């Protein structure tokens, strides 16, 4: 729980850490089948979360800044243009008005990454040059992941060549729905290899996996196959990130860390658009995984409109007044 007395370390002063990459391990079917999820206990815990935060006002801004540093600022629209992506990248470099950043002592704050389709990697890389902000590309026939497998591998290669440092792949949902864990493992392993040095986030599309037990098992298989992050959703399913699914995935990450020593990152994505929801997610990460995960190398929000609401809250924090949401249209 986020206690009233707890302030996060100012995000722009966090020490640099280099986490060893999860190399994966051979598929351990006995371990996979041990992954279960008690739906009623999970739902009970998840429903108790949002009302429980008692965050001291002074610390709220620091937690919201932490949330910004963990956003994969995303645009995944069919009508994306280089101009729109350049504006989004400008927002990633300076996510909040300069006077507010100064007032809050947060100069240098940026988002965690910018996330785009393959065609927009070039414009994003150019716009972010020198900023250190990585470009993430969705890949492997996103969002359904149903294009021919060799094309999915080739797509990863093209995106890495174009400058993406993070690749968000989608798994084949049918492998989970039919219990083909070996198939899922092999596919994920090949995706990881095709990524090379680029980090790979495995999108499970949890809204299409049927049960929380499937979510737990798919999480475990993807981590065994070398995923750097596991991510809930594409943002295009009818149900995207939820707290119960997040609990299941975070617990899988925790168990994998306890058993292998490797830390895998977590990315809830889709439908997270309010500052208060972001705080709830950060609190859950803190409780389930601990402070080490509250950094952009191990936690991201996949979100297209969350930043706008956080900026509004920060403006209120500094000036005491809310501005209209249309003034924060981007992000
Ligand atoms: O991965 C990111 C999602 O596509 C963003 O979803 P959203 O537009 O609901 O924030």
At 128-146, the pLDDT tens digits run: 999 999 999 999 999 999 9
Q: Provide CB contacts within 8 A for 284, sequence distance 6+.
A: 49, 243, 246, 247, 250
What are the residue ranges of helices labelled H in 105-148? 121-128
The per-residue pLDDT string of the chain (331 residues; one tens digit each, 9 = 90 and over) reads 454 445 565 666 565 667 899 999 999 999 999 999 999 999 999 998 886 665 666 688 999 999 999 999 999 999 999 999 999 999 999 999 999 999 999 989 999 999 999 999 999 999 999 999 999 999 999 999 999 999 999 999 999 999 999 999 999 999 999 999 999 999 999 999 999 999 999 999 999 999 999 999 999 999 999 999 999 999 999 999 999 999 999 999 999 999 999 999 999 999 999 999 999 999 999 999 999 999 999 999 999 999 999 999 999 999 887 776 666 666 6
Give the residue, by CA position, lying nearest to ligand 1 atom 10: 303
Over the stretch 9-26, which tens digit does the pLDDT of each residue have?
Answer: 566 656 566 789 999 999
Determine the residue of 78, 88, 269 to mutate for testing ligand 1's pocket, defined as the one with the most ligand atoms within 8 A of the Cβ atom: 269
pLDDT for 13: 55
- Asked if 188 and 222 count as a contact pair (C-beta separation under 8 A), the reply is yes
Would the CA dihedral through 160, 164, 165, 167 be positive or negative?
Answer: negative
Q: What pLDDT, on the 0 to 100 scale, is given for residue 19? A: 87
- Tell me how crowded residue 10 is: count the other CB atoms within 10 A of its CB: 14
In CATH, the number for domain 25-47+57-321 is 3.20.20.70
Ligand 1 in reach of 207 Cβ (< 6 A): no
296 lines ligand 1 (CB under 6 A): no
- Report the separation in Å between the CA atom of 33 and the middle of ligand 1, taken as the mean of its atom positions: 31
304 in contact with ligand 1, CB cutoff 6 A:
yes
Tell me if 76 CB under 6 Å of ligand 1.
yes
* CA dihedral of 53, 56, 57, 59, whole degrees rounded to 10: -100
ipTM > 0.95, yes or no: yes
Structure-block tokens of residue 118: 């393959």
Q: Is 169 helix (H, G, I), strand (E, B) or coil?
A: strand
Q: Which two tokens stand for residue 190?
A: 């090949």
Atom of ligand 1 nearest to the CA of 272: 10
Q: Is 303 in the pocket of ligand 1 (CB under 6 A)?
A: yes
- Ligand 1: residue of 112, 235, 238, 281 to mutate (most ligand atoms within 8 A of CB) is 235
Pairing between strand 265-267 and 71-74?
Answer: unpaired
Which stretches within the chain are classed as H helix? 29-34, 39-48, 57-69, 82-93, 98-104, 121-128, 149-161, 173-177, 181-195, 212-224, 243-260, 275-288, 306-319
């Amino acid at each position: 729980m986020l206690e009233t007395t707890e302030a996060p370390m100012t995000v722009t002063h966090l020490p640099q850490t280099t986490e060893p990459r999860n190399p994966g391990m051979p598929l351990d079917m006995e371990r996979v089948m041990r992954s279960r999820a008690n739906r009623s206990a999970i739902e009970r815990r998840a429903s108790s979360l949002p009302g429980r935060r008692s965050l001291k006002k002074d610390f709220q801004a620091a937690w919201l800044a932490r949330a910004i540093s963990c956003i994969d600022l995303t645009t995944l629209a069919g009508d994306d243009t280089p101009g729109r992506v350049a504006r989004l990248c400008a927002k990633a470099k300076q996510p909040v008005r300069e006077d507010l950043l100064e007032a809050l002592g947060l100069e240098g704050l940026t988002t965690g990454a910018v996330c785009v389709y393959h065609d927009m990697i070039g414009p994003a890389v150019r716009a972010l040059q020198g900023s250190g902000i990585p470009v993430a590309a969705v890949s492997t026939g996103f969002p359904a992941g149903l294009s021919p497998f060799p094309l999915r591998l080739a797509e990863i290669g093209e995106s890495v060549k174009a400058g993406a440092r993070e690749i968000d792949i989608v798994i084949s949902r049918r492998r989970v729905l039919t219990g083909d864990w070996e198939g899922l493992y092999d596919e994920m392993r090949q995706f990881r290899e095709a990524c090379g040095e680029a980090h790979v986030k495995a999108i499970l599309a949890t809204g299409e996996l049927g049960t929380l037990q499937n979510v737990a098992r798919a999480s475990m298989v993807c981590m065994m196959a070398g995923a750097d992050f596991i991510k809930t959703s594409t943002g295009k399913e009818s149900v995207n990130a939820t707290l119960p699914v997040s609990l299941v995935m975070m617990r899988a990450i925790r168990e994998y860390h306890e058993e292998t020593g490797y830390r895998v990152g977590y990315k809830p994505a889709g439908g997270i658009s309010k500052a208060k929801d972001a705080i709830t997610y950060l609190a859950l990460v803190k409780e389930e995984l601990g402070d080490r995960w509250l950094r952009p190398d191990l936690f991201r929000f996949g979100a297209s409109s969350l930043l706008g609401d956080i900026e509004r809250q920060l403006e209120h924090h500094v000036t005491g007044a809310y501005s209209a949401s249309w003034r924060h249209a981007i992000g």
